[in-house]
Amino acid sequence: MDKKAKGGLSRRAVLAGAAAGVVAPVAVASAAGSSLAAAAGLTRQLTLYADYVPGTTRVGYGLEPGKPTIPGPLLEMYEGDTFEIELVNNTDQRLSIHPHGVLYDTESDGSPFNNSFNNPGETKTYTWKTRAAYQAANGLWMPGSAGYWHYHDHAFGGDHGTVGLLKGLYGGLIVRKRGDLLPSKTFTVVFTEMWINHQTAPDTPIFEANLGQRVEFLCIGHGSLMHTFHLHAHRWADTRTGMLTSATDNAPVIDNKTLDPGCSFGFQVIAGDVVGPGAWMYHCHVQQHSDDGMSGVFLVRGADGGMPAGAQDAIDRFKGHHHGTAAAEPPTGPPPTVATDASAKTAKASMPGMADMPGMDMSDMDMTGHQH
């Protein structure tokens, strides 16, 4: 029988750089390395708040009213667990929360298609369930829920949540198997149009770890542009966890992976393994995107937390680089028509990146009705 737990969700703080703020994940384990067996079969109740980010037109999810973050809180659960998420809509627009990778009924779908959303000022509970892999009656094995997933709005400004995503209504979701190794830190990296976590360089997150720490990257794609994620000096196996299962595991080892809209993946690495401490880049390897500000810094400090030689100089050079003209926040004015001049193809439109799509006239889109 499932047990219910109100609260009791610890926060493993993830250092995301001064500009991006600190992401506070919600974890079902009390600390990295704790027993996973205690988390099995729990039903956990959590309240999230959707608010405007003060001083901006952005909107985000948060663990406290009036304190949204972009990305929203990182939610973690284990196969067999259930989340009952009470979403409080503190905005003047309808919105929702829609998950990837977990199980839910139509009432918790988080889409106008199923009449599942919060009206302005409304509070609604969404229920997400998970399961472990099991063998069906026909002998076939059915997959479980473990994976690196995400959640996002599906109702703000339209029936598909396009506007909500562009305003910042998204976050990371991890479902773990019992026995998975837990990292010391988890970094959520979201590529949306020409932004990383809704920022462009040099204001993108600086993720920090000490030499030898086990760190985890959760990479998520949104928007209308294809990206790739590349991490300098570190590599991982192209498996569910980024790790090999044995010396004879022939899974490909990679340091660059495609990150299309709606896709997500994750992996764990040992910070500075073999290569040592230093300031290492992460970025989109679509070259124009990297030039226009889709890059950031993974700072591996010494084992004692000290700044490695040359790292501060590298960070200073990064902050002094010219990174194109991609806007860090969508304008609030009416959407422009398609730009035909190549020099104007930047993320300055109210829906960045879509101006690069041939034949797309933003003035023809009705963001309040349902248009396919």
Does the pLDDT at position 335 exceed 50? no
Mean of the pLDDT values across residues 131-154?
A: 95
Q: Is the pLDDT of residue 348 over 70?
A: no
Residue 19 placed within a domain: yes
Whole-number pLDDT of residue 138: 93
- Kindly indicate the confidence band of residue 326, based on its pLDDT and cuts at 50, 70 and 90: low
Residues 59 and 125 both lie in one domain: yes
Q: Are residues 75 and 135 in the same domain?
A: yes
166, 20: one domain: yes
The CATH number covering residue 114 comes to 2.60.40.420
Q: What is the mean pLDDT of residues 354-370?
A: 38
Averaged over 110-128, what is the pLDDT?
97
Do 168 and 265 belong to one domain?
no
Q: Residue 329 falls within a domain, yes or no?
A: no
Q: Of 165, 181, 197, at which residue does a domain stop? A: 181
Neighbouring C-beta atoms of residue 113, cutoff 10 Å = 14
Contact 128, 176 (CB under 8 A): no
The whole-number pLDDT of residue 307 equals 98
Same-domain pairing of 20 and 167: yes
Please report the pLDDT score of residue 36 as a whole number: 34
Percent of the chain clearing pLDDT 70 (strictly above) = 76
Q: Is residue 91 part of a domain?
A: yes
User: Is 99 in the same domain as 164?
Assistant: yes
CA 84, distance to chain mean position in Å, is: 20
Per the prediction, the chain carries an average pLDDT of 82
- The residue range of the domain holding 29 is 3-181
- 148, 166, 181 — which closes off a domain? 181
Quick one: pLDDT band at residue 41, thresholds 50, 70, 90?
confident
Total domain count, the chain = 2
Tell me the two tokens of residue 338: 């398609």
- pLDDT given for residue 316 in this prediction: 96
For residue 144, being part of any structural domain is answered with yes
Whether residues 175 and 136 share a domain: the answer is: yes
Are residues 10 and 69 both part of a single domain?
Answer: yes
pLDDT in tens, 194-220: 999 999 999 999 999 999 999 999 999
Tell me: do 144 and 214 sit in the same domain: no
- The whole-angstrom separation of Cα 73 and Cα 50 is 11
> Does any domain span residue 348?
no
Task: Answer whether 0.85 is exceeded by the pTM.
Answer: no
**Of 124-133, 135-144, 298-307, 351-360, which range is least confident?**
351-360
Q: Over 50: is that where the pLDDT of 53 sits?
A: yes
- Mean of pLDDT values over 296-306: 98
* C-alpha closest to that of 73 among 111, 24, 126, 120: 24
Q: How far apart are CA 79 and CA 180, in angstroms?
A: 11
177 and 235 assigned to the same domain: no
3-state DSSP helix/strand/coil % of the chain, to nearest 5: 10, 35, 55
* Residue 364 located in a structural domain: no
What is the predicted pLDDT for the residue at 321? 77
146 domain-assigned: yes
Q: Evaluate whether residue 158 is within a structural domain.
A: yes
Triad 331, 333, 334: Cα angle to 5°: 120
Under 8 Å CB-to-CB from 124, ≥6 apart: which residues? 86, 87, 89, 117, 118
Q: Do 59 and 159 lie in a common domain? A: yes
Whether 17 and 155 map to the same domain: the answer is yes
Mean pLDDT value of segment 314-340: 60
